[in-house]
Every structure is written in structure tokens, then in C-alpha cells.
Structure 1
Amino acid sequence: MAIFINRPKNNWHEYLNFSQDTNMNQVNIEMNKRLSFLGINDKTLQHISDAAEIISPYLTEIVDTFYETITSYEELQQLIHEHSTVERLKQTMMTYLEQFLRAEINHDYIKSRQMIGKVHSNIHLTSQHFTAAYQLIVQMMTTIIMEKMYHRSEKMMQMVLAIQKLAAFDVQLIVEVYTQATVKQFLFGISDLLNYTTQLDTSRELINSMNKQKEETYSVTAATEEMTASIQEVAHHAVTVSEGTDDAVQSAVRSKRVINESLEGIQQVGKVYEQVVNRVSKLDQEIEHTKNVVHVVREIAEQTNLLALNASIEAARAGEHGRGFAVVASEVRKLSEHTKEQITQITSNMESLLEVSHAVNQEIKETEKMVNQSVVGAKTAGDELEKIVEAIQGISHEISQIAAMSEEQTAAIQEITDRNTVISELSDKSQTIASETAKTILDLSKKMEANRRSFFNKNIEFEHKDIIESAITDHLLWKWRIYNMLIGIEDLKAEQVGSHEACNLGRWYYGDLPEQIKSKPAYKALETPHIAVHNCARKAAECYVRGDVLEAQQAFERLQDASQEVVTLLKQLKEQV
């Protein structure tokens, strides 16, 4: 079928409009420039309005055909299922086409196209799918125009070009916002990673923990060495005591043997003393018998003396005849007197002997009693000594056990020392790994920051919310650099800490901002903590460079407080603009 029945009157280039006479009051200067570059003016929009009369009856068919086509692709069908429904999207597409065909370019028109770009970016619709799908819409509209207007080729060319121009403007708006939104997603995704990374304050704790662990292993090593020395000393004393107790046991055994021998001797003495007591008792009996005999002799002597006296008396009576008898009687009486004297002396001696015998007998009995007590005491001492021997032998055994256990403990302590040495070596490795990990995280954050910075060099329009979000990340990064400086992996000088006016946040804060932002309480409260952050960062860097780590740490803690306040105010301001 011939498309053109009548040949167009104009050459192809005459249908193109390169004039810069676009001046639509309802859009800004930048949008007028874009429209002018695409050759869109009031005539173009009038051609769109004329085309609308032809296309409008087919809108439902266009929308149905469009979604029938794209849902035949599994990935697009899955995307629709995850984020919306076909019926809902058909209504949205119908609204879009109606607005397109009205050809009224104003603020709402532009915003609606920009919103499409944001939505497509959020649902991660690829550019190739969007371009193909949008071209399908353009193709269907232009095909309808060519089918219905083929007999009026000049008017058809004007309508087709107008549709293509306005479609190109829509694509430009959609793709621009899509690109910016996608780039911002990457940008703020990196910013979120950086924000999270800057909150990884475990590196310092890990390094400090490794240092403390290393110190503890040294302390444990010293303690185990002291313990080993103590155990060895205990073992030495235990061996010495054990040897001493062995000697004591031998001495006690010998003492027990001596005591047993002494006990036998004392028991023998007791028997001898018993015999002596018996003999002394017999002596007493003999003395008593002798005493009785002496008593009889005394009586005889007294009787003899009495007879001699009578004989003398009778001899005196006899006179001369009794003189010889008187002599005999006199001698007898003398003998009797002498016998009596001797008997008296004997009696006295016998009594003295008896007293001595009694005294000896008493002393022997006392001695026997003492001997018996000594025997009992010696026997008790022997029993107690035997218990002492048993106790000393038990002590000797226990001390031998202590000595053996001390050797085992020494071996155990040595094993602990060996393992502690391994732990110390592992701590050294862990400390190195911790430092390297912290350095790796820092290097990674720098690479992410460099990547993030590269997005700012692109032709992307940032809103105030975007700038505030970026300022939060910038702020946390400075705190992160000071943090890594304090753990010794970041080289930072005080002069590298810029002023609060020269940083990104400062340039935005003191820049040409609308009154609706400057009037916010969060904006007004932001300046003081922001200045404090820069002052504390500079102070921390100065103190660290001159070796005053404690003062640098204190300055960093003040920086953290001020930084937290800045971030909180920025988040509040972001919600308010």
C-alpha cells in the first residue's frame, strides 16, 4: 500500500524547526532552552492537539496493546508483579497519554515526567527496557497518524514530527531524572556505607584489646615462672622434710626400742624390789623373833639377878659357911647385871634396827610404787611413741605425695607456659591483623569517598536534601579521619582541617539559601556545634602531632559530642526542607 498518495510539497529539512523562538511562560528559562533545542514551539503543540483528535479514540487499544506486549517478557512481568498491577498501570498510562495529547507544557507536566523517572529508578527498570517500551508508544501513535493522514502528507509529517519532538522532550525529562535518581542511589548508597564505616569504632578497641591481651600474656608468663619456682621450692622442701621425717621415723623406732628395753629393765627392777620387800619383811619378822628371845633372856637375867640377891642374903645368914656361896652369888649377880645391861643395849639396837627396817621397808614400798608408775608411764610412752611413729610415717607419705604432685604441677605449669607462649605469638599476629584490618577499612573508606566524590563532578542537579545528606557523610568522614589518626594509621596535620566556612557544609550553609531554609530552628542552631567540630578536630590533630595523645583523645571526645549534635540537626533540617 502506498503511504503517500500526494507527494509532500516541502523538502524534508523544511519540516524541521531549528528556530529559537520558544517562549512558554509557564516554564522556566532552562526548560525553554531545552524546548527550543528540540524545535518545540506553540505550532508544535498545536500539531499535537490536532493529532489528539485522531489518536484519542484509540487510546484504550494503544494501552491494551502496550501492556499485552511488555507482559510477554518475563522480566518485565515480574517487575510489574513486584511493584504494581497491570490495571493500575493502564490507568497511569492512560493519564499520561491524555496529558501528552493535551500538549500543555507547564510545571505540572514537567513534574509528572520527572516523577516517572524517579519511579523507574526506584523500581530499577533498566534504560533499555524503558527506551524500547517508550518507542513502542511513539510507534503506535505515529502509525495511527500515518494510517489516518496518509492522504494529507504534509499535515501527517507535521503531526508525526510534533509527536516525536514532544516524546523526545518527555524522554529527556524522564531519562535525566532517572539518571540523576540512579546516580544519587549509588551516591547515597556509598554515603550510607561510609556512614556505617565511620561508625566502626571497633578497630581501636580491637587494637587496645590485643595490646592488653599481649600484656596479660606477659603477666601470665611471669606469674607461671614465679609459680614454677615456688612449686620447685616447695618440692625441694617437701623432699627435705620427707628425708627428715624418714630420719625421725628411724629415731622414733630406735627410741621405742630403747623405751621397750628400759621398760623391761624397770619391770625387772620392780621384781627385784618386790623380792627386797619380801626379804625386809622377813628381816622384820626375824628381828621380832630376836626381840622376843631378848625379852626372854632379860626375864631370865632379872630372875637370875633376883636369885643371886636371895643367894647373897642366904649366904650372909650362913656366915662363914656361906661365904663361898656369897662369892658365887655375887658373881652371878654381876653376870646377871651385865647380861641385863647387854640385853638393854641389844633391845635398844634391836628397836633401832626395827625402826630402820620399817623405814627401809617403807622406802622400798614407795620405790616399788614409783617403779610401778614408771612401768605404766614407760608403757604409755611406748604406746604414744608408736602413734607418733605412725603419724610421722603418714606425714612422710603425704609429703612424698606432695613432692610427686609438685612435679606434676611443675609439668602442668610448664605446659601452661608453653601454651601461653603460643597465645602470645597469636596475640602478636592478631595485633598485626587488627592494625592491617583497620588500615584496610580506612583505605576502603578512602576509595569509597573518592568514588563518591566522582559523582559530584557529573552534571547532576542536587536538591537541598541531597546536599544535606552529603554534608552528613562529609562530617562523619572528618570524625573518621581523626579517629584513625588516634589509632596511628592516618597521617593528618592540623592545617589539613579546614575552617567551618570552607568545608562543603560551610559553603552551603553560608551560601545563597532561600529564606524557608534559613528560618528553620535546626538551621539556626547548626552553626555553633559545626564550629566546635572543626575546632576540636584541629585541636586533636595538633595535640597528636606533638605527642599529647591524652589531650588529643579528650579533644576527640568533645568532637564526637559536637558531631552528634551536628548530624542530629542536619537530619532534622533534611526533614523540614
Structure 2
Amino acid sequence: MNIFRKKTKSWSEYMDHPRSTDLSEASDVIIERLAFMGITQETLTYIKQSAHLLSPYKSDIIDQFYRSITSVEHLRQIIDQHSRVDRLKVTMEKYLEQFLQAEVHHEYVMTRVIIGHVHSRIHLTAEHFISAHHLLIQIMTSILMENLHNDPDRMMKTVLAVQKLAAFDQQLIVEVYMEETFKSFLFGVSDMLNHMTQLDTTGQLIKGMEKQIEESHSVSAAAEEMSASIQEVADHALTVAEGTDDAVETAERSKHVINKALGDIQQVGRVYDEIMEQVQRLNQEIEHTQEVVNIIKDIADQTNLLALNASIEAARAGEQGRGFSIVASEVRKLAEHTKEQISRITTSIASLQHVSSQVTQQIGDTGKLVEQSANEAHNADEALKKIVATIQEINQATTQIAAMAEEQTSSVIDIASRNSVILDLSTHSQTIARQTAETVLELSKRIDDYRRTFFTINVKLDYKDTIRVAKTDHLLWKWKVYNMLLGLDSVTAGQVSSHEECRLGLWYDGELPSQIQGHPAFQQLKAPHKAVHDCAKLAAQKYEEGNIAEAYAAFEQLQEQSGLVIALLTQLEAELSLSTRG
């Protein structure tokens, strides 16, 4: 029976066909790919004819496919994370139906593009997708070979047709997947650069280290001054301590002098007491004398009266009483004289009493003064005791201050020593900070070089993608100017391009849909974008001239305008994202 079995042609006959296609319901790029793979209308016809052979096995194909897929732990985790097997089976059934219909048109191509987008979004690697897709083709070709083995020529043509169209599908899906993956890498790198360009902490760190070094120098100078001041305080404290020692000795001597004076005053008080007693006795004697004088006066008055009577009687007696009259006259003269002397004595006694009274009063006053002086001397003694005690306490405190000042001097010297270490560490940290800033700058340049390689692999960027790339370009230029001001990068005014020549400017002036051109954010973009370039050029020019202050002022304006540019681009990007989802 083998002599009746049909044989296949040579394999080369199946491969030997012109690289062309008679299909025309697709774009030029798609037609070119179909031609390269030799996919013609005949190829699609063989696939359509195979539908009646594969359709009965559709459920078996899908079940076998997902049994194999879910046996791989990594693929099963992706399915569990993003979907369910029953939902994926429905999607697979639609894919097989469309594949077997073999109508290669715009909708067919777009469904494959969507599959590529989905696989990129769920991070299914191209390796796993190609392996899984080949598994599907293996199942399909196995069924076809089993059913068409009696007609080898048809089997070969049908299997080749399925493989060609499946390869076309793979190319579309993997191309989109790779393009999306490249974009993901591109924008991941761009986001990394965007964040890196916000790292103004390097400049803050360098300036902070400079400030810390200045402060360390100030602390060193202050420590030296403080050490000198403390030493001076210690010297003064010692001088004061010595002075207080002298003061204590002087106060002690003064205390002895006051105590002696107090004794003398008390002795004077006792003398005054004795004088007071004598004066009082004198007053008593004067009073007694006054009494005697009064008696004598009375006697004189009586004598005078008797003399007068005697004279009268003598006159009566006549001649016989003449002698008696003479005696009476003499007695009367004596009485008168006595009376005069008594009057003088009385006057003297009165004067003596007056003087005695004054002396008594003065002695009393003097006694009070002596008593007051004695009290004050006693108080002075008590005060002096307190003064001596206070001076001794001051002396002890001053001695302690001197000792503490010596300790503080030692502490200040230790602080100065430690501050010297801090200064060395700050200088070292500043060097490391600058080296870190240089490393970050160099890293940003290398990342940007890596980012630029994506533009050489023909990654297709839509309007939204172009905006994202332009934002990164914009931030990188600001980053270059920032590092120029730190002295880490060199930017000349001539290197700053015009706002019309950069990627954003070329995109802005290019052919854009009315949806973008009519957006308010787009219409407001040109002025701040131009200002950014002008400020960058001005900052570079002022830096070249050595006018750092004006260079920083220009950079501040650049940052302000840059913020407006980024905000407007973000609005446009959000608008395009909404329209894409819509």
C-alpha cells in the first residue's frame, strides 16, 4: 500500500518563493513585512481551509495551552496577579477565531498591537511570550499534521501557512512589546534623571560644609578668646583672693581696734557716771548752801530789825543811849553788809546752780552720746564680724572661682582641640560632598548617554512620549547650569541653544494636531520656554564673567520659568493621556 502514498516535494520548493505579497489592505510597513515572510492570499486561504480541522479541537487546544502555562510558577503568578484563567480562555478563543479567519487588515493588526501592550504592562517577558506562542503553534500544527498526513503537500502548505501567520503575529506583538519595554526603560531612566536633577542637596551640602568650616574657625577664635578671658578671670580671682586675705587681716585688726575703742568708750561711760554722781552731790551741796544762806539772810534781817529797834530805843534814851545807839548803828551796818554779801552769795549760788544745771544737762547728753557710741561700737563690732565672715566666704568663693576657672580653661582647651577635629572632619566631609556631587553629575551624564541610545533604536514616540522626553531634556539643561554654579560642570553661553532648536522647540514648531495646538497650556508654553533658555544663557555668561551673584540671580529666574514649563507640559501630558484612554 505504500506505493500509493503521496509524497511531499523537496523542502526547498516550499521555501523557494518570491518575497512579495498580493495583499494590499494594510499599511506599507505591514505589506513589506508580509512580503518578506511570503504571506500571500494563498497563505491565508490555506489557513481558512484549516479552520474546519482545528475548530473542533478549539477547547482542547486552549485547555492544553493553559495547563502547560500554569505549570510554570512564574507565569501562574502573573496570571493570578492580573487576571483569571477562565477570562484568559475567552480571550484566547477570540484570538484563535480571528487567526483562523485569516483576514489581515487594520483591525487584525491592532488586536496584535493591543496584545503587545498588555503583555508589556503585566511585565511578561518576550522570552516567555514567544515560548508560550510557539506552544500554541505546536499544538495547532500537531493537529493539522495528524489530520493531513495522508495529503503531505497540503499538510506542508497548511502548516507553513499557519507558521508564517503565527510568525507575523509574533513579530507584531513582540515588536510592540519591545517598543513598550524600551519606552518603559527610557522613561524609567528619564524619571531617574528627573529625580536626580532635583537633587539640589549636593549644593546645599557643599555650602553647608563651607558654613560649618567657617563656624568652626569662629568657634576656634572664640575658644581662644574665651580661654584668655577665663585665664584673666582666674588671675583676677587670685588677686581678689589675695586682696580678701589682706582685707580679712585688716578687718580683724579693725575689730580689735573697735573692741578696744568700745572698752574705752565703756570706761568713759563709767567716768561720766562718776562725774554725774559728783555733780549731783554738788547740786545737793549748793542746795544745802542755799538753805544756810537763807538762814543767814533771815538772821541778817532779824539783826537789822533789832538794830533798828535798838536805835529807836537809844534815841528815846537820849544821851544815855548814845553809846548803845552807836552799837546799834554798827550792828545795823553789819546786818546791811551781811545782807549785801548774802545777796551776792545768792546771786553766785544761783549762777552756780544755773551752771551746775547746764553741766548736769551736758553731762547727761554726753552720757547719752557715750551710751549711743557704745551701742554703735557694739553694732559696729557685730557688723564687722559679719563683714569678716562675708569676706572669708568671698575669699573661699574666689578661690573656688579661680580653681573652676582653671578647670574651665582646661575644658575650653579641650573644646578647641575637639573643634579642631570637627574642622578637619568638616573639611574632609566637604571634600567628600564635592566628590559625591561630581559622582552624581557624572552618573547623570552616563545615564543620559544611556537614555540617548534609545533614540538610535527607532523607538516610536507619540506626542505624549515626546512631551515626557522633552521634560527630561529641559530638566537636564537646568541641571547642567546648576552644576556649573557649583563649579562642577562647564557651560558656556554659546553652548546654550535657542528655544527653537531644542527638542521641545522643534516639537512645538512642528506639525501638531489641533487638539494640542488649541490647548491653553500649549499656547502659554512658548514664553516661559524662551525665558528658560534666555536665563540659562545669561547665567552662563555672568558665570564666565565671574559675576557669581548675578549668575545665581539668573538661575533663580530660570528655576521659576522652568517650573511654569514643567507645569504646562504636565497639563498637556495629562490631556493626551485622557484622550488616549477615551
TM-score, length-normalised on structure 2? 0.87
Aligned residue for 1:142?
A: 141
Aligned to 1:20, the other structure's residue is in SS state: coil
Report deviation, 1:523. 3.0
Measure, in 1, the Cα distance between the counterparts of 2:337 and 2:63: 178
Change (3 A) 1:369 1:237: farther
Measure, in 2, the Cα distance between the counterparts of 1:414 and 1:23: 99
Measure, in 2, the Cα distance between the counterparts of 1:12 and 1:164: 15
1:388 to 383, 387, 398: 383
Contact 1:5-1:150 at 8 Å conserved across structures = no
Aligned to 1:27, the other structure's residue is in SS state: coil
Change (3 A) 1:360 1:207: same
Cα-to-partner distance string for 1:424-447 (whole Å, 9 max, x where unaligned): 444434433333333332222222
Whether 1:267 and 2:262 are equivalent positions in the alignment is: no
Matches within 5 A, 1:115-514: 115-223=114-222, 243-244=243-244, 246=248, 249-250=251-252, 253-254=255-256, 256-288=258-290, 290-292=292-294, 294-295=296-297, 298=300, 302=304, 317=319, 326=323, 336=331, 339-340=334-335, 343-344=338-339, 346-393=341-388, 395-396=390-391, 397-398=393-394, 400-401=396-397, 404-405=400-401, 407-408=403-404, 411-412=407-408, 415=411, 417-418=415-416, 420-514=419-513
Report deviation, 1:473. 0.7
Report deviation, 1:292. 4.6
Matches within 5 A, 1:10-159: 10-159=9-158
Report deviation, 1:353. 3.0
Matches within 5 A, 1:506-525: 506-525=505-524
Contact 1:190-1:452 at 8 Å conserved across structures = yes
Alignment root-mean-square deviation, CA: 3.3
Aligned residue for 1:537?
A: 536
Contact 1:248-1:392 at 8 Å conserved across structures = no
Measure, in 1, the Cα distance between the counterparts of 2:332 and 2:240: 85
Contact 2:20-2:36 at 8 Å conserved across structures = no
Report deviation, 1:123. 2.0
Match of 2:285, as an amino acid?
L
Change (3 A) 1:275 1:465: same
The size of the alignment, in residue pairs, is: 568
Cα-to-partner distance string for 1:464-521 (whole Å, 9 max, x where unaligned): 3222211111111111122222233222222221111222222333334455544444
Measure, in 1, the Cα distance between the counterparts of 2:69 and 2:283: 149
Change (3 A) 1:224 1:360: farther
Cα-to-partner distance string for 1:106-130 (whole Å, 9 max, x where unaligned): 1222222222222222222233322
Report deviation, 1:265. 2.8
Moved more, 392-401 or 462-471: 392-401
Change (3 A) 1:520 1:309: closer
- Percent of aligned pairs sharing the same letter: 39
Cα-to-partner distance string for 1:76-130 (whole Å, 9 max, x where unaligned): 2122111211111111111112211111111222222222222222222233322
Report deviation, 1:295. 3.4
Cα-to-partner distance string for 1:147-170 (whole Å, 9 max, x where unaligned): 111111111111111111111111
Measure, in 1, the Cα distance between the counterparts of 2:516 and 2:313: 179
Aligned residue for 2:6?
A: 6
Cα-to-partner distance string for 1:168-209 (whole Å, 9 max, x where unaligned): 111111222222221221111111111111122223333333
Aligned residue for 2:549?
A: 550
Q: Any runs of at least 4 consecutive aligned residues in structure 1 with deviations exceeding 6 A, and if so which?
A: 310-316
Measure, in 1, the Cα distance between the counterparts of 2:181 and 2:163: 26
Aligned to 2:25, the other structure's residue is in SS state: coil
Match of 2:6, as an amino acid?
N
Measure, in 1, the Cα distance between the counterparts of 2:356 and 2:539: 111
Match of 1:443, as an amino acid?
E
Contact 1:259-1:378 at 8 Å conserved across structures = no
Cα-to-partner distance string for 1:401-454 (whole Å, 9 max, x where unaligned): 366357536745763644555544444344333333333322222221122112
